[in-house]
Amino acid sequence: MEVILLKKLEFDKITIKTKLYIMLILPISFILLAIIIDTPTNIVNGIFKIIVHPDILITDYIKVGGLGAALINSAILTLVNIYIIWKLKININGPVISAIFIIMGFAFFGKNIFNVWPIYIGGYIYSKYQKTNFKNVILITMFATALSPLVNEFAYGLNLPIPFGILLGISIGILVGFIIPPLSAHMIRVHDGYNLYNIGFAAGFIGTVIMSIMKSYGFIVENKVILSNEYDTLLKAFFTIFFLILIILGFLFNNRSFKGYKRLIGFTGRLITDFTQLTGFGLTLINMGLMGLIGILYVIIAGGIINGPVIGGLLTLAGFSSFGKHPKNSIPILIGVLIGNFLITKEVSTTILVITGLFGTSMAPIAGTYGYFVGILAGFIHLSVVMNVGYLHGGINLYNNGFSSGIVATILVPIIDAFKKED
Amino acid sequence: MKHEIKRISKILDELITFCFLHGTNNMNITLENHKDYFKIHLESDNIDCDDVRVQKLKEFLAYPRQSEVEEYYWELAGECDNDTELTLVGMMVDRAEVIFDGTSLSITLYRNK
């Protein structure tokens, strides 16, 4: 007889403090880079422009406020979130790394130091209302900043008197922050964990309802694509170095080896697959770095350049590589999107193609569970769906690909299941 | 926590699915509702305790409780019939005991209120 008493162990040998330091590498690098390439006056003016500019998809903050301001905006948001994580004594696990990276990435196109906080206040009020610890909902709240553009749209987009508009925008943000924790937990059952950007799916529905109501009262959505193209080489070099640093750090933490990586790519990636716990922090960093490099390679193959939205795609890809994504389950999605681009007749801009692929890896668990062919099929379908669902929420849901992926996963998984002969 | 009873049911659902997937013919489950904690006890026969996936049970259930992850993902527990969410169960309980005895498996979980 083998009796095992399992007492809850420490997370792993690497301390939370060390993990926090690693999380600080990129935001601090952003600050240093901003100081080198831009002047303080430009940065302050740029941040102001970012704050007052409407944020619906796709608004590249590098174009709106300049690279320096976009970097500082991202750094501030990331540092504040890391501070919250530290203050609430939350371990740096896969979901937390993903949340930090998604905020860091989307702070280049939609999330800024003004429009995210109402959602946090809403989450906090929800936790007090339900008499639970804010720690329990902080993760959902961080992801829920997908709907931050709502705050700006109500504040500046309705042509209301500015103070009233700002108050209304903040109130709507608080309301969204309040309702999203129960909604997101519920929506996860719809796709059974096959869409990693679950909040994008939930936020897509919320955004659709809100935008439908707004349109009923005469609100007109202005489709816009504001993109920068000046810093491609600099950003490629910067992020390549960062991803290489992640691989080197991971190698060192993993006893100076890549041992165990074969096991990591054996996981399907379906929610919840937390690599920090299943394989250790070192291998997780290796996977994140490697996936980041694959992301950059994909940008080059697709003929794209690195701008705000693509930074968002790369950092989200790397972040979720601590929580389900790896080369084996993500590359089929990328291939599917590229094949789709060749076969569809509608013209797709390179940036749209690039971010559709990068964010489309949200469906990596489908490829991980059902194989390469189904993964490629998912990516192929996703390209068509993602170009149409944006209309529903008018671009106020930043995780448009998460919404599309949720729809594709919800449809595709039961169909594949219907063709399986076993139970 | 909100939906506490449903969360306990989800943990049970996941354990039952796990045992079915590994060949059980007979399962006995007891659930105790104490003042400060829930105790879930499950005994199952005909389980291949040498199976790597069964052995992984120890690793998965040993995960520290993580309420922030639970709050977001708890509804996934017990939802899939060809995969398991035992890592999630590990994150939803404060203490776990596992006994392998030939083909018999005994699991006891404690979840603080």
CB of A400 within 8 A of CB of A358? no
Q: Which residues pair with residue A5 across a beta bridge?
A: B97
CB of A172 within 8 A of CB of A151? yes
Per-residue pLDDT tens, chain B, 113 aa: give them.
678 899 999 999 999 988 888 888 999 999 999 999 999 999 998 887 777 777 788 888 888 888 889 988 998 888 776 667 888 999 999 999 888 888 888 999 999 98
Count how many Cα atoms sit within 13 Å of the Cα of residue A104 in the half-sphere of its side chain: 28
Question: Which residue in the block uniquely carries the two structure tokens 């169960």?
Answer: B89
Count how many Cα atoms sit within 13 Å of the Cα of residue B34 in the half-sphere of its side chain: 11
- pLDDT given for residue A358 in this prediction: 97
From chain B, pick out residues whose CB is under 8 angstroms from the CB of A3.
97, 99
Inter-chain touch B100–A278, beta carbons under 8 Å: no
Count of domains in chain A? 2
CB of A199 within 8 A of CB of A137? no
For A42-76, give the DSSP string: HHHHHHHHHHHS---SSB-HHHHH-HHHHHHHHHH
Whether residues A186 and A280 share a domain: the answer is: no
Q: Which residues pair with residue A280 across a beta bridge?
A: none
Inter-chain touch B66–A93, beta carbons under 8 Å: yes
Q: Are β-strands B37-44 and B27-33 bridged in parallel, bridged antiparallel, or unpaired?
A: antiparallel
Whether residues A209 and A283 share a domain: the answer is: no
- The parent domain of residue A208 ranges over 16-216
Residues 6+ apart with CB under 8 A from A349: A225
From chain A, pick out residues whose CB is under 8 angstroms from the CB of B63.
8, 277
Whether residues A274 and A188 share a domain: the answer is: no
Whether residues A258 and A327 share a domain: the answer is: yes
Phi-psi map region of A196: left, alpha, beta (phi>0 left; psi -120 to 50 alpha): alpha
Whether residues A272 and A299 share a domain: the answer is: yes
Inter-chain touch A369–B83, beta carbons under 8 Å: yes
Min Cα distance A85 → chain B (Å) is 11
From chain A, pick out residues whose CB is under 8 angstroms from the CB of B71.
132, 136-137, 139-140, 181, 185
Whether residues A263 and A194 share a domain: the answer is: no
From chain A, pick out residues whose CB is under 8 angstroms from the CB of B70.
136
Residue A1 lies in a domain: no
Inter-chain touch A189–B76, beta carbons under 8 Å: yes
Whether residues A297 and A393 share a domain: the answer is: yes
CB of A374 within 8 A of CB of A412? yes
**CB contacts < 8 Å between A and B, how many?**
110
CA distance linking residue A310 with residue A399, whole number of Å: 13
Residue A223 lies in a domain: no
CA distance linking residue A198 with residue A192, whole number of Å: 10
CB of B23 within 8 A of CB of B46? yes
Q: Hey, what are A211's tokens?
A: 């935008």
Whether residues A273 and A374 share a domain: the answer is: yes
- pLDDT given for residue A238 in this prediction: 97
Question: What is the 8-class DSSP label of residue A322?
Answer: G
CA distance linking residue B69 with residue A139, whole number of Å: 7
Residue A306 lies in a domain: yes
Mean pLDDT of all residues belonging to chain A: 92
Whether residues A88 and A179 share a domain: the answer is: yes
Sign of CA dihedral A213, A214, A220, A225: negative
| Residue in A283, A383, A275 with CA at minimum distance from that of residue A336 | A383
From chain B, pick out residues whose CB is under 8 angstroms from the CB of A274.
69, 87
Inter-chain touch B79–A8, beta carbons under 8 Å: no
Whether residues A243 and A210 share a domain: the answer is: no
Q: In whole angstroms, what separates CA A287 from the centre of its chain?
A: 17
Residue A227 lies in a domain: no
Q: What is the mean pLDDT of each run of 10 residues along chain A (423 residues)?
A: 55 80 96 96 96 87 96 98 95 95 96 95 96 93 94 85 91 95 89 93 93 85 84 96 97 95 94 91 97 98 95 97 97 96 88 95 96 96 93 89 95 89 63
**ipTM of the prediction:** 0.87
Whether residues A192 and A240 share a domain: the answer is: no
Q: Which of B68, B87, B102 sits opposite A274 (nearest CB)?
A: B87
Other residues' Cβ atoms within 10 Å of the Cβ of residue A328 = 18
A-proximal residues of B, 12-51, CB under 8 Å: 49
Say which amino acid occupies B77. Answer: A
For chain B, domains (ranges, CATH) are 4-112 (3.30.565.10)
Residue A226 lies in a domain: no
CA distance linking residue A13 with residue A27, whole number of Å: 25
Whether residues A164 and A250 share a domain: the answer is: no
The domain boundary residue, chosen from A216, A243, A261: A216
Phi-psi map region of A347: left, alpha, beta (phi>0 left; psi -120 to 50 alpha): beta
- Helical segments of B4-85, H only: 4-21, 52-61, 67-73
Residue A10 lies in a domain: no
- pLDDT given for residue A166 in this prediction: 92
